[in-house]
Amino acid sequence: MQSINKLLVVIDPDNIKQAALEKAVGIATATGASILALLCHYEKVSDSGDAVENNYLADIKKTAIALKQQWLDEMIQPFKNQGVDITTTIRWHHRLYEAVIFAALHERCDLVLKSTHEHSLLKRILFTPTDWSLLRKCPTPVLLVKSTDDYKKGRILAAIDAVSPDYNHAVLNEIILDSAFYLAKTFQAKMFVANAFPTAPNILPMVTETVSVANVQKSIAQSHKKRTLKLVEKHGIAEDHIYVREGSAEDVVSAIVQEQRINLVVMGTIARTGIPGVLIGNTAEKVLESLNVDVLALKPSDFITPLAK
């Protein structure tokens, strides 16, 4: 993500507070981007084949859309009065995530924003099935918004996998770092980088009788540190903003978020098609579930949504 020209905001019809919309306004103000506010609505109606009844059902649909449009227009008017370039679209669709993906592709949006909700007892973001479907299937970057706080002079964390042998991960590392750097520069925010490496129990199969666990652990740590510093070199990130730590990715990222009061985590989600649909890597899912801040999820540039097949 080197620039943001058009934002797609998913409007939540069941909430007065629209965190994603407010966050989009802040991003649009900083970047000059336009905003498309999407409201998805659907009421199950049956097609009986009778012309009179079908006309009646069509009128019901038309009335429902008109009412939603009026509500949506009233919501965005204050932002339009502030000079924000914002338009609306209402999609009649029974699957929200599909409506969002189709709209993002058709309108050539650079970023999709959707509000998330915190579980009152667990004190972390509670991802809905729609959230997971967008994370798995949306080719456009997805920003899951928890807070309405502006990113200006905030703190942004890029979570990478510096030594992965997988080509897609290597490409994704560059996308993550470039996107985080762009956002940090845009919002005059501080940028941090996190990379986790495996703990000793996970490397025991690599240890022979002549090599100690401690030596293997030290070698892995040095390899991760060297590769991480090489990756961030072009962005000029201060070394005290670069964290290469032993532990699971979810524990390391979550700890840094707390320590540095991070506002936004930028991370990758490599999606692969499986029998039940499209799956995100197990590590990415664990990291996502451990966070309680805004998350920008990115995919490789060559990712093709299964909805396009």
Q: Matching CATH topology for 1-148 and 149-309?
A: yes
- What's phi and psi for 30, nearest 5 deg? -80, -30
pLDDT of residue 275: 43
Q: Per-residue pLDDT for 147 more than 50?
A: yes
What number does CATH give the domain 1-148? Answer: 3.40.50.12370
39 three-class SS: strand
Query: What is the rounded distance in angstroms from the CA atom of residue 22 to the CA atom of residue 227?
Result: 38
Query: What is the rounded distance in angstroms from the CA atom of residue 124 to the CA atom of residue 291?
Result: 6
From residue 149, alpha-carbon distances to 26, 167, 187 in Å are 9, 35, 12
In one letter, which amino acid is 125?
I
Q: Per-residue pLDDT for 56 more than 80?
A: no
pLDDT of residue 204: 54
Per-residue pLDDT tens for 161-176?
888 777 778 889 999 9
Give me the helices (H) in the chain, please.
Answer: 19-31, 51-81, 96-106, 129-137, 167-186, 200-203, 213-232, 249-260, 282-290
Average pLDDT over residues 128-134: 87
Q: pTM of the full predicted structure?
A: 0.87
Per-residue pLDDT tens for 246-299?
888 889 999 999 999 999 999 998 755 554 444 456 677 788 888 889 999 999
Q: Measure the CA angle with vertex 75, ends 69 and 77; round to 5°.
A: 100
CB 45 within 8 A of CB 64: no
pLDDT of residue 276: 46
For 149-309, which CATH class? alpha beta
Q: Which residues pair with 92 in a beta bridge?
A: 41
Average pLDDT over residues 199-211: 57
Q: Where are the domains of the chain?
A: 1-148, 149-309
